[in-house]
Amino acid sequence: MSSLLSVIIVNYKMDALTSSFVKNELVKVAIPHKTVIVNNAATPESNAALCKSLNAALITDIEAECNADQDVFVVSSDENLGFARGNNLGAEFSRRVFDPYYILFTNNDIQIPDNNVVGKLIQKLHVTPEAGVIGPKVLGPDGVEQSPCCYHSCWDREVAKHWSAYFLSKKKQVERFHMDYAQKATEGFHYFVLGCFFIVRASDFYRCDMFDPNTFLYAEEKILAERMKAIDKKAYYLPSVNVIHAHGMTTSKYSKKRAILKWQNVSNLYYYRNYCHTTRSVILMASLTNYLVRLKIGLGHLLSFPRTV
C-alpha cells in the first residue's frame, strides 16, 4: 500500500502537546496522509495515553505486521533516540508499511495557519526537481522569521561570533554574521531550511541515507543539506506560506541552558569535522570557546565574558 504523504513527529515526554498538535493542527492538512509519532523514552502509560487520545495503533516492533489502513501510529522506543534517529525510525516504518511519496517532518510546537500550506509546498516541490527539501516561512510567536539559513564556517559560527562583542557593535555583529539572513531571504534555494517543519520526497530522503544517526540534537538540517548535495539536491524556501514555531518547548522544559549549548557544540563540531573538513586547530578553538561560554553561564557574573547576540 502506498500513501502520498507521511507526517513524522518525534515525541519526548510531551504527550498532551503532541496529541493537541495532531488534533488541532494536522487536521488542517487537506492532503490525505498518515501520521507516525515516534515516542522517545516511551513508557506504557505514555503509549497508552497517546493511543487513546488519537485512536492510534501502537507499534513496538516496526518489522511486525500491522494494519496499514490506520491513520495514526505510535512507534514506541524505550530509548530516547533524539531527533535524527527518532525521525529515521519513523521514516523506516513509513517506508515498510505504506511507502509514502512525500514525508513531512514536523515538531509538535507548530501552528499551521493555512489549510493549504502542505499542499502548496508539495506542489512547488513537484515542479522543482532540483529541490530535495522544501520549507515555508517559519515565524516565531513574536513574528520574527527563523528560516531559511545560510552557511557559516566553523570559525565564524563557533569562535568569532562568540568573541565579537569585544570588538563589534550589535549592528556590526548582525552584518558580519548575517544574523538577519532569514528576515531578508527571498524565495528560492538556500543552504538549509529549519528542521521544525519541512517536506522531502521520500525517494530523495532514502537515497541520501536519511539523517545522520551520529547526532542527538542539533545540526541535523545542515548535515541533511550536505547529504542532499551529494545527490545533487538543494533546499528550497517558499515564503508565500508560513507556519508559527514556538521554538525549543521540549528542550527548554527538560534541559538546562548549559546542556543545550553542549549538545549544540558536539553536533556542530561533528558536522564541521565530518562534512566540512574543518581543520583540527579550528575545531579545538571552537571546543575551547564553547567550554568558556558554558563556564560563564555556570559561574554567572564572576567571569567577564562577552555577551553573544
Please state, as a whole number, how many other Cβ atoms lie within 10 Å of the Cβ of residue 166: 8
Residue 3 has pLDDT above 80, yes or no: no
Nearest CA to 288 out of 156, 173, 158, 153 is that of: 158
* Helices and strands, counts by H and E, the chain: 13, 11
Query: 288-291: which pairs have CB atoms within 8 A and are 24 or more residues apart?
Result: 289/158, 289/159, 289/162, 289/163, 290/158, 290/162, 290/261, 290/262, 290/265
Closest CA to 138 of 223, 221, 225, 247: 247
The residue among 294 and 256 whose pLDDT is bigger is 294
Which ranges constitute the DSSP H helices of 8-116?
15-24, 44-54, 82-97
> First-to-last CA distance in the chain?
50
Q: For 175-194, how does the pLDDT look when each residue is reduced to its tens digit (9 = 90+)?
A: 999 999 999 999 999 999 99
Q: Mean pLDDT throughout 43-71?
A: 94
CATH of domain 5-148+185-254: 3.90.550.10
- In this prediction, residue 304 carries a pLDDT of 47
- Answer whether 0.75 is exceeded by the pTM: yes
pLDDT of residue 255: 52
Q: What is the pLDDT of residue 248?
A: 58
**Within 13 Å, how many C-alpha atoms sit on residue 294's CB side?**
18
Which residue ranges does the chain devote to CATH 3.90.550.10? 5-148+185-254
Whole-number pLDDT of residue 263: 86
* C-beta of residue 163 within 8 angstroms of C-beta of residue 305: no
Q: Give the per-residue pLDDT at 195.
A: 95
pLDDT in tens, 210-230: 999 999 989 999 999 999 999
For a pLDDT cut of 70, what percent of the chain falls above it? 93
Give tens-digit pLDDT for 93-146: 999 999 999 999 999 999 999 899 999 999 999 999 999 999 999 999 999 999
Question: Do 89 and 77 contact (CB within 8 A), yes or no?
Answer: yes
Mean pLDDT estimate for the chain: 92
